[in-house]
Amino acid sequence: MTGGTERMWADDAASRMLGMRLVEQSAGHAVVSMVVRDDMLNGYGICHGGLVAALADSAFALACNSHGVVTVASGFDVSFLEPGRPGDELVAAAREVSSRGRSGIYDVTVRRAADHVVLAEFRGRSRALR
């Protein structure tokens, strides 16, 4: 891990509860995975959109904190394109798009690992705390 995110990730009880796993991380970049469990399904039997957003948000947090400065989300938008199904492994890849002063923009693509189909696109806005 880079930039002091080791402690942040170790203390992230929400991501741990959802079974998220850090796959890789470098400056301005992170990949996090999660397997869709039965207790993550909505009333239509597909992965709850809030949990897909949570996966993307965790990858975003790792990417924007990778520079060694405590950084938080100031907002995000997410577009859902395909549903996640029980047993699917979802992979969220975050990348820094822009960083100016204390503000940053990060894009996260959530794909199904088995066939690489894009399930969601997430754009996060960050703010460094100094």
For 52, the domain range is 5-128
CA distances from 28 to 24, 69, 81, 97, 121 (A): 11, 12, 25, 9, 17
pLDDT, tens digit (0-9, with 9 covering 90-100), for 93-118: 999 999 999 999 999 999 999 999 99
User: At 102, which CATH number?
Assistant: 3.10.129.10
**What is the distance, to the nearest Å, from the Cα of residue 8 to the centroid of all Cα atoms in its chain?**
14
- pTM > 0.85: yes or no: yes
Q: How many domains does the chain have?
A: 1
Structure token pair of residue 69: 């400065």
What is the tens place of the pLDDT at every residue in 31-67?
999 999 999 999 999 999 999 999 999 999 999 999 9
**Residue 57, both tokens:** 């948000």
Q: Which two tokens stand for residue 21?
A: 């796993």
